[in-house]
Chains A and B, each alone.
Chain A
Amino acid sequence: MALELEIVSPDRIVLSKPVEMVVLPGAEGELGVLVDHAPMVVMLQPGTIRVTEDGKVTDEIAVDGGFAEITGARVTVLVSGAPAA
């Protein structure tokens, strides 16, 4: 089972696909999220979101802060601005 990742900015959906792992720049430290992670809401600090598929980093997306909602099967990231990786 894969983790559904969605990165959304006010203007568009930046990214939406199933991934293996995502590393988020949390306000209190980086955290990696795998499938079946405990539900939580995290505030992000400016940094990069790294997306891992098949053991390789496939996307690196710079964000200037935002919020991430994590449920067992889904990660939704709200960013205020995300340039193309």
Chain B
Amino acid sequence: MPSLKALRGRIVSVTSTQKITSAMKMVAASKLRRAQNQAGAAKPYAERMERMLAALAAAASGGPGAPKLLAGTGNDKTHLLVAITGDRGLAGAFNANIGRMTRARVGKLRAEGKAVKIFAVGRKGTDYLSHEFPDLVVDSVNYAGRKSINFADAQAIAGRITALLEAGEFDVCTLLYNRFHSVISQVPTATQLIPAPKPEAAAAEGVHAIVEFEPAEEEMLAQLLPLNLAVQIYRAQLESAAGFYGSQMAAMDNATRNAGDMIKSLTLRYNRARQANITNELIEIISGAEAV
């Protein structure tokens, strides 16, 4: 049985932990709102980019000199996995989910006899993956200490990926990130970036058959494709950021509740111990008095 003093100390310590977790929950909630707004604001651009690209790809498809970003290298030997995680922890299984997913993919691709390379985005993922697969991580980037990411960051990543592609470092590029499903649920998702998946029945608008291009399709694709890559990465990063704060909020909510339960049970034990002490003292006094 711990002493009264020890119990009191534990109650104080759990109470201050609870204060911290509930403050973190509030902070995560407000950051979540900001991240959601940013993700929402980026959506129109991505949607229109998709529409424009679909029109272009339909017009330029079949050409023998199709750009690598669209058609890939024609091989399927080396896979590049771009894993997007958060820069901080204390967000439940958020980062671990991406780590686990990446590990499973690496195992599967290796079993098929393919080479794997990893581009880690986010500090947590970089730490985990460079420990787990030290010889696979070819590049990494993190935004620790930054308030929010912007489009230029995504463009920088896209630029590095394009450079790797041009150097023939990989054939297929897949993006792994937490898709923001709702505040309490983030779904680890894999999206293939290169070669770009065929746009599904994009020409539904019909009119697009006779679109003019200025300059010609090929030249325009060469400009548009890197931009599109950046847009897709940007969208994934924003969703991941929103998901991170959602996950952190849920984790901190749980921690606050657990701390509350713990304080309750510690207080109960403390009061019982105190009562037992008093009873003991009374018994001593009474039996002393009776003995006289």
Binding site for B on A (CB under 8 A): 6, 8-13, 26-28, 38-43, 67, 69, 71-72, 76, 78, 80
Contacts and interface: CB of A to CB of B under 8 A. Distances in A.
A43 B215 contact: yes
11 contacts: A6-B48, A8-B48, A11-B38, A13-B44, A28-B215, A38-B212, A40-B214, A41-B212, A42-B214, A76-B51, A80-B151
A60 B231 CA distance: 26
Nearest to A11: B41
Given A10-B42, A11-B151, A39-B211, 13 more contacts: A11-B150, A13-B44, A28-B214, A41-B55, A43-B215, A67-B220, A69-B51, A71-B207, A72-B207, A76-B52, A78-B48, A78-B49, A80-B227
Given A69-B48, A69-B51, A76-B52, A41 B211 contact: yes
Contacts of A6: 48
A11 B34 CA distance: 13
Interface of B: 38, 41-42, 44-45, 48-49, 51-52, 55-56, 150-151, 207-208, 210-215, 219-220, 223-224, 227, 231, 234
A39 B212 contact: yes
Contacts of A67: 52, 220, 223-224
Nearest to A71: B207
State the main secondary structure of chain B at its contact with A. Answer: helix
B95 to A, nearest CB: 26
Nearest to B214: A42
Task: List 5 A-B pairs, minimum CB-CB distance, nearest first.
Answer: A40-B212, A10-B151, A39-B211, A8-B45, A12-B41
Contacts of B44: 8, 13
Contacts of B234: 10
Contacts of B212: 38-41
Contacts of A10: 42, 45, 151, 231, 234
A38 B223 CA distance: 23
A39 B210 CA distance: 7
Nearest to A76: B48
A43 B208 CA distance: 17
A13 B40 CA distance: 11
A4 B48 CA distance: 14
B52 A78 contact: yes
B56 A41 contact: yes
Q: Among B45, B55, B220, find the residue whose CB has the most chain A CB atoms closer than 10 A.
A: B45
